[in-house]
Structure 1
């Protein structure tokens, strides 16, 4: 019995480690898609090149805080704060070549700024990226008002 509980804890922690490897890219830039995906060994379950991948430009801790929000449905949680993300994709021509990891080419990533995210969580932290909000959240721009002497 103790062994099965310990194995379950390891599996859950492994899910969070998988999430970090697949999705957390704190220092990621648009030009990093090919090296980022291949360098981390990101691929489909069948071992082929993954057509697309999204990196969240934030720490695991910042993303894990989303898990503390009220669940939308099941284990899905929407962030209250916004994140910047890098969307990496292959072109149709790249995908048609059927290259194998670690030789999967990706076009320059697309930076998505100020987006809320929806992630799946277990009691150990984030384990699944569901989606990002389509349109950016408008961040208020505060301007300094000059004082006028009357």
Structure 2
């Protein structure tokens, strides 16, 4: 009886280690493909853009939705990065 319990514990520990390894490997693959939230946000900041700039920028950058199709709309912020940073950090208050 004691011997069976010992084997069951070893199998359980092995299963946990195997599962943990699989999770860690899958997280590494996700990290390679994803950008940081800051980098993702910074893509939307454009200092100078004319009235057709949004459409042109989306075409130039190949901005698509999660299915790979052209997005119908996107948001760009027309401002210097320093202005955006100040607003995000201080709420625009000096």
TM score, norm. by length of structure 2: 0.51
Question: Tell me, what secondary structure is at the counterpart of 1:30?
Answer: coil
Aligned mate of 1:18, from 40, 58, 61: 40
Moved over 4 A (4+): none
In terms of fraction of residues, the more strand-rich structure is: 1
In structure 2, what is the equivalent of residue 106 of structure 1?
A: none
Q: Highest CA radius of gyration, 1 or 2?
A: 2
Aligned length: 62
Structure 1 position 15, deviation (Å) = 2.1
User: Does the CA contact (< 8 Å) of 1:28 and 1:55 recur in 2?
Assistant: no
User: Does the CA contact (< 8 Å) of 1:26 and 1:59 recur in 2?
Assistant: yes
In terms of fraction of residues, the more helix-rich structure is: 2
Going from structure 1 to structure 2, the CA distance change for 1:17 and 1:41 (only over 3 Å counts) comes to farther
Structure 1 position 67, deviation (Å) = 2.1
In structure 2, runs of 5+ residues without a counterpart are 1-30
In structure 2, what is the equivalent of residue 32 of structure 1?
A: 53
Q: In the aligned structure 1, how far is the partner of 2:71 from the partner of 2:54?
A: 12
Is 2:54 aligned against 1:42?
A: no
Q: After the TM superposition, which residues 47-62 of structure 1 pair with which residues of structure 2 at under 5 Å, given as runs?
A: 47-62=68-83
For the aligned residue pairs, the C-alpha RMSD in angstroms reads 2.6
Going from structure 1 to structure 2, the CA distance change for 1:18 and 1:52 (only over 3 Å counts) comes to same
Structure 1 position 37, deviation (Å) = 0.7
Q: In the aligned structure 2, how far is the partner of 1:15 from the partner of 1:64?
A: 14
